[in-house]
Amino acid sequence: MNQSHSLLELAQQARGAAAHLAGLDGAGRRRAVEEVAQALEAAAPDIVAANRADLAAAEREGISKALYARLILDQDKLQAEIAGVRNVGRLPDPVGRVEIHRELDTGLVLKKVTCPVGVLGIIFESRPDAAIQISTLAIMSGNGAILKGGRESEQSCRAIIHAVQAGLAAAGVSPAAVQLLTTREEIAELLRLDAYVDLIIPRGSNSFVRYVQENTRIPVLGHADGLCHLYVDQAADVDRAVRLAVDSKAQYPAACNAIETLLVHREIAAGFLPAAAAALRAAGVVLRVDGTARQILRTAPGLGGDADMEDATDADWSAEYLDLVLGVKVVASLEEAIAHINRYGSRHTDSIATEDPAAAAEFLSRVDSAGVYHNASTRFADGFRYGFGAEVGISTQKMPPRGPVGLDGLVTYKYFLSGSGQVVADYSGPNARPFTHRDL
Amino acid sequence: MNQSHSLLELAQQARGAAAHLAGLDGAGRRRAVEEVAQALEAAAPDIVAANRADLAAAEREGISKALYARLILDQDKLQAEIAGVRNVGRLPDPVGRVEIHRELDTGLVLKKVTCPVGVLGIIFESRPDAAIQISTLAIMSGNGAILKGGRESEQSCRAIIHAVQAGLAAAGVSPAAVQLLTTREEIAELLRLDAYVDLIIPRGSNSFVRYVQENTRIPVLGHADGLCHLYVDQAADVDRAVRLAVDSKAQYPAACNAIETLLVHREIAAGFLPAAAAALRAAGVVLRVDGTARQILRTAPGLGGDADMEDATDADWSAEYLDLVLGVKVVASLEEAIAHINRYGSRHTDSIATEDPAAAAEFLSRVDSAGVYHNASTRFADGFRYGFGAEVGISTQKMPPRGPVGLDGLVTYKYFLSGSGQVVADYSGPNARPFTHRDL
């Protein structure tokens, strides 16, 4: 009871502080972001020390190498993150953008203007850098934020949010606008606070995102893992397609924009697969191949037979390995490739390798994913690479915001109507006054 | 089992047909809309006859006058609706709008382009005209639609959708793109089809919308009833404010954009309330007043004492009468009015009557509703009046689409990336190639 009482109070405070933040103009929010950067600089020794404590504890618990690597926030990484904070402060202001400015009639003027959403509830993995990025994006977009990071990063996050709050205070903004939760129990509490929290952004596994979606009335910005594909068309350039396959899979296999399945047109399979298999094998990738691919690869010279190759089952087409494992399937047509992606994919990012513009156009038009690529690695699906400056994550839902979500995805809009006493009765019935509907 | 099997098939067919519709260009979709208009004209006698049968059945069942009025689709109304169909066909195309066109690096080009959502599931009240409007908006935005209208309008809806499908066929589009459900049981089925339906739009009571939200994984576009307010500020022009109060409440009290509560600053209450009460009473409105308002009105000349006046309780501030009943509360300050609206309102549309620009600015900025108005009737909150041509409804959720939802609210977007074999490895690490991020 005490616990939930205090979380409720914390959310109410965040809401009040967020309303104040939302009332600042762009210059005021930019100043707050700069104060946060300075506060992070001032607190750098504390943050790095807190991170070392998290790392020591993680080591004692024997967490995986990949998790450990993400947990590190040393002096160099922190400086890079602080530079990132200042970059966000230089991005175009997402708030106050006039999207419609229309005279409905003389003296009756409608404006549709972007505005902050309110309070964001963000649950993220054990990456202390995420706490910095998310807080900064929230402040720049005029939103309050209630953050819950992974347990392993707790001390780092405390030190970071302490500095963020000091920066807010220095800018004259209530530090309550950004809050940190530290216990797992508080997540369930947070999901019930639909009167105070406007948007939940869960980052993490598919099952966690689904848990959140099924346990809250608050709108959820779905940040799922990705089941991405590269389709090598019959008209692909083989060298180019091999490079794309290696980069899309192996450049950072734990990322949600890495591919999990390679689809290959049967007309190019004999020419492409041996070269691709050799290059992927050199990058440490284990292949899970269908029958046709196995037949081609078994007899290919220089591949050493069946080593590093496993038989794919149907379950592989739905598998998100997030590791150096890749499903390989030979398809009979572009049509089959598109149908496979729309059936098994997660609507994240899918790419076609082809030199045939018509095949590319067909693929881009009919694949139902947030990102559809032609001759480019799926790993480009990222807010920084798209030029958004930063991202809170990648959304695989169909309704906006879709794909990498940066500042523009953290605002909504309001309709402002200004008149001089106009009433609808005058615009109704047989002698209705007409609207002018003139864009200004 | 049989039932659910056939609904699943119907949804699959709708999805396939929607993909085809989505592949048409604007001219193709405009042509489909025109063919629908012609098919409705050709079927007019059938539609009007079907509507007469619905009306006769409704009369036998003794439905309310208001429901009966909405059910009517006579020859005149139908012609007006067909003109509305043609209007939608002339609106700016919401599909294919390029929102970002950016070079990430030489030869690597990103585009963010609007595209249809997919298949819409729309559950609406017994208004046959809604079936016409919704089908047309879906077709023009390139979406498939599965419709379920209120039971009382079943025969009218059947005749309408029959004509819509004939129009689609005449335009070379699969008629399966627009489907009609006719049994209540199918609603629960529809809500489970998250693999085939991309967006659910429930129209109806708050409790029905909430039922839908809690029983589906499909995103829901919330079309709630409205708890709208007019706040009469101390600096209001009394005559103007009286006109606004009467129009906002009585011009069409069953609409979601009609006000349910009138908030009055105490400094103007004595000057405003007697005139407002007289005008509202003349319009047939019963007032539910708080203690201060009652005291003022009791002694006001010419109001005939306590007649047509009831005491408000706290429950009145949360009540959506949708009828000729209005809560009246005297507040001590603009601050209190804003707090009241943000606490009890439904984030639909709220208006301030004032001649003080600073008070107006404060109200518009801090009231957290889709529509915030100054000296204008809340009844203007409507897609037609905003110049959207038509609307599927009004959304009270905070994330877009918010407020009246027209064509632009029925599209999402995709990111298209075209390259010549670019890989992320080249843009990473110590010798990372920089992005150009140049808008084209």
Instruction: For the domain covering B228-386, report its CATH number.
Output: 3.40.309.10
Kindly state the average pLDDT of the residues A131-156: 95
pLDDT > 90 fraction of chain B, expressed in percent and rounded:
80
**Does the beta-carbon distance from B375 to A217 stay under 8 Å?**
no
Q: Measure in Å the smallest separation between the Cα of A416 and chain B Cα atoms.
A: 5
Buried b (16+ CB within 10 A) or exposed e, B81-109: bbebbeebbebebbbeeeebebbbbeebb
A3 pLDDT above the threshold of 50: no
Contacts of B388 (CB under 8 A, 6+ apart): B91, B404, B406, B407, B408
Enumerate the domain spans of chain B. 2-223+402-415, 228-386
Q: Is it true that the peptide bond before A175 is cis, omega within 30 degrees of 0?
A: no
Query: Measured between alpha carbons, how far is B393 from B199 in angstroms, rounded to an integer?
Result: 14
The pLDDT, as a whole number, for residue A356 is: 98
Do the two domains B2-223+402-415 and B228-386 of this chain adopt the same fold?
Answer: no
Q: Measure in Å the smallest separation between the Cα of A62 and chain B Cα atoms.
A: 28
Kindly state the average pLDDT of the residues A410-414: 96
Among B341, B328, B241, B332, which residue's Cα sits nearest to residue B293?
B328
Q: Say which of A108, A398, A400 has its CB closest to residue B198.
A: A398
Q: By mean pLDDT, which of B304-318, B351-365, B415-429 is the weakest?
A: B304-318
Q: Say which of A100, A380, A435 has its CB closest to residue B385.
A: A435
- Other Cβ atoms within 10 Å of A111 Cβ, number: 17
**Does the beta-carbon distance from B415 to A108 stay under 8 Å?**
no
Q: Quick one: residue B421, left, alpha or beta (phi over 0 = left, psi -120 to 50 = alpha)?
A: left
Q: For residue B398, report the phi and psi dihedrals to the nearest 5 degrees.
A: -85, -35
Q: Tell me the β-bridge partners of A224.
A: none
Q: Say which of B108, B370, B377 has its CB closest to residue A415.
A: B370
**Does the beta-carbon distance from A373 to B402 stay under 8 Å?**
no
Query: Measured between alpha carbons, how far is B81 from A110 in angstroms, rounded to an integer?
Result: 26
A427 pLDDT above the threshold of 90: yes
The size of chain A, in residues, is 440
pLDDT digits (tens, 9 = 90+) for A285-305: 999 999 999 999 988 766 655
Q: Scanning every residue of chain B, which has its alpha carbon at the shortest distance from the alpha carbon of A415?
A: B371
Parallel, antiparallel or unpaired: strands B403-405 and B393-395:
antiparallel
B224 pLDDT above the threshold of 70: no
Q: For residue B103, report the phi and psi dihedrals to the nearest 5 degrees.
A: -80, 120
For chain B, state the CA radius of gyration: 25
Q: For residue A283, report the phi and psi dihedrals to the nearest 5 degrees.
A: -90, 5
Query: Measured between alpha carbons, how far is B204 from B211 in angstroms, rounded to an integer?
Result: 11
Q: Tell me the β-bridge partners of B231.
A: B263, B352
Contacts of B290 (CB under 8 A, 6+ apart): B311, B312, B328, B329, B330
Kindly state the average pLDDT of the residues B60-78: 91
Kindly state the average pLDDT of the residues A417-439: 95
Type of residue numbered B15: R
Query: Measured between alpha carbons, how far is A96 from A98 in angstroms, rounded to an integer?
Result: 6
Kindly state the average pLDDT of the residues A336-349: 95
Chain A interface disruption, residue of B335, B417, B426, most A CBs within 10 A: B417
Say yes or no: domain A2-91+116-223+393-412 is CATH 3.40.50.720: no
Q: Do A293 and A328 contact (CB within 8 A), yes or no? A: yes
- Other Cβ atoms within 10 Å of B184 Cβ, number: 11
Q: Do B412 and A347 contact (CB within 8 A), yes or no? A: no
Q: Which pair of tokens denotes residue B35?
A: 């063919």
Query: Measured between alpha carbons, how far is B173 from B30 in angstroms, rounded to an integer?
Result: 12
Q: For residue A393, report the phi and psi dihedrals to the nearest 5 degrees.
A: 155, -175
Q: Do B392 and B405 contact (CB within 8 A), yes or no? A: yes
Contacts of B100 (CB under 8 A, 6+ apart): A386, B110, B111, B112, B415, B439
Cα three-residue angle A419-A420-A421, rounded to 5 degrees: 100
**Does the beta-carbon distance from A420 to B102 stay under 8 Å?**
no
pLDDT, averaged across chain A:
93
A226 pLDDT above the threshold of 90: no
Q: Measure in Å the smallest separation between the Cα of A398 and chain B Cα atoms.
A: 7
Contacts of A365 (CB under 8 A, 6+ apart): B23
Quickly list DSSP for B296-328. HHHTSTTS-TTTTEEE--GGGGG----SSEEEE
Contacts of B247 (CB under 8 A, 6+ apart): A423, A424, A425, B377, B379
Q: Tell me the β-bridge partners of A325.
A: A286
Type of residue numbered A241: A
Contacts of A60 (CB under 8 A, 6+ apart): none
Supply the pTM of this predicted model. 0.90
Q: For residue B104, report the phi and psi dihedrals to the nearest 5 degrees.
A: -85, -35
- Per CB-CB distance under 8 Å, the chain A contacts of B360 are 418
pLDDT digits (tens, 9 = 90+) for A355-405: 999 999 999 999 999 999 999 999 999 999 999 888 888 898 899 999 999
Highest mean pLDDT range out of A7-16, A248-257, B40-49? B40-49
Query: Measured between alpha carbons, how far is A156 from B321 in angstroms, rounded to an integer?
Result: 52
Type of residue numbered A34: E
Chain B interface disruption, residue of A108, A369, A399, most B CBs within 10 A: A399
Kindly state the average pLDDT of the residues B380-396: 90
Kindly state the average pLDDT of the residues A235-242: 98
Band of the pLDDT at B322, cuts 50, 70, 90? Answer: confident
Could you say which architecture CATH assigns to the domain A228-380?
3-Layer(aba) Sandwich (3.40)
Q: Tell me the β-bridge partners of A178.
A: A145
Query: CATH top-level class for B2-223+402-415?
Result: alpha beta
Q: For residue B338, report the phi and psi dihedrals to the nearest 5 degrees.
A: -60, -45
- Other Cβ atoms within 10 Å of A94 Cβ, number: 21
- Per CB-CB distance under 8 Å, the chain A contacts of B398 are 117-118, 198-199, 219, 412
Looking up tokens 């011009």 gives B251
Q: Which pair of tokens denotes residue A140?
A: 């720049």
Q: Say which of B366, B370, B428 has its CB closest to residue A19.
A: B366
Q: Say which of B104, B412, B421 has its CB closest to residue A387.
A: B104
Q: Measure in Å the smallest separation between the Cα of A68 and chain B Cα atoms.
A: 19
Q: Tell me the β-bridge partners of A101.
A: A111
The pLDDT, as a whole number, for residue B16 is: 92
Q: Scanning every residue of chain B, which has its alpha carbon at the shortest distance from the alpha carbon of A248?
A: B423
Query: Measured between alpha carbons, how far is B160 from B78 in angstroms, rounded to an integer?
Result: 10
pLDDT digits (tens, 9 = 90+) for B151-192: 999 999 999 999 999 999 999 999 999 999 988 889 999 999
Q: What share of chain A is helix, strand, coil (3-state, %, to 5)?
A: 45, 20, 30
B19 pLDDT above the threshold of 60: yes
A419 pLDDT above the threshold of 50: yes
ipTM of the complex: 0.91
A103: exposed, middle or buried (C-beta count within 10 Å: 0-12, 13-18, 19+)? middle
- Max Cα-Cα span within chain A: 86
- Other Cβ atoms within 10 Å of B64 Cβ, number: 9
Parallel, antiparallel or unpaired: strands B259-265 and B286-289:
unpaired
The pLDDT, as a whole number, for residue B203 is: 85
Band of the pLDDT at B304, cuts 50, 70, 90? Answer: low
The pLDDT, as a whole number, for residue A222 is: 75
pLDDT digits (tens, 9 = 90+) for B329-374: 999 999 999 999 999 999 999 999 999 999 999 999 999 999 999 9
Positive or negative: CA dihedral B19, B22, B23, B24: positive
Using DSSP's 3-state secondary structure scheme, residue B440 falls into coil
Q: Do B220 and B121 contact (CB within 8 A), yes or no? A: no
pLDDT digits (tens, 9 = 90+) for A170-220: 999 999 999 999 888 899 999 999 889 999 999 877 788 888 888 888 888
The pLDDT, as a whole number, for residue B298 is: 87
**Does the beta-carbon distance from A422 to B398 stay under 8 Å?**
no
Q: Measure in Å the smallest separation between the Cα of B195 and chain A Cα atoms.
A: 9
Q: Do A168 and A174 contact (CB within 8 A), yes or no? A: yes
pLDDT > 70 fraction of chain B, expressed in percent and rounded:
97
CA distances from B158 to A47, B60, B179 (A): 66, 20, 10
Query: Measured between alpha carbons, how far is B235 from B242 in angstroms, rounded to an integer?
Result: 13
**Does the beta-carbon distance from B425 to A387 stay under 8 Å?**
no
Query: Measured between alpha carbons, how far is A317 from A296 in angstroms, rounded to an integer?
Result: 20
pLDDT digits (tens, 9 = 90+) for A4-62: 558 999 999 999 999 999 999 999 999 999 999 999 999 999 999 999 999 999 999 99
Torsion of CA B76, B82, B86, B92, to 10 degrees: 100
Q: Which pair of tokens denotes residue A327?
A: 């499903």
Q: Do B128 and B138 contact (CB within 8 A), yes or no? A: no
Q: Quick one: residue A236, left, alpha or beta (phi over 0 = left, psi -120 to 50 = alpha)?
A: beta
Q: Is it true that the peptide bond before B401 is cis, omega within 30 degrees of 0?
A: yes
Band of the pLDDT at B1, cuts 50, 70, 90? Answer: very low
Q: By mean pLDDT, which of A296-300, A317-321, B49-53, B359-363 is the weakest?
A: A296-300
pLDDT digits (tens, 9 = 90+) for A66-104: 789 889 999 999 999 999 999 999 999 999 999 999 999
pLDDT digits (tens, 9 = 90+) for B289-302: 999 999 999 887 66
Buried b (16+ CB within 10 A) or exposed e, A277-301: bbbbbebebebbbbebbbebbeebe
Kindly state the average pLDDT of the residues B106-125: 96
Q: Which pair of tokens denotes residue B251?
A: 């011009």
- Per CB-CB distance under 8 Å, the chain A contacts of B379 are 423-424
Band of the pLDDT at A132, cuts 50, 70, 90? Answer: very high
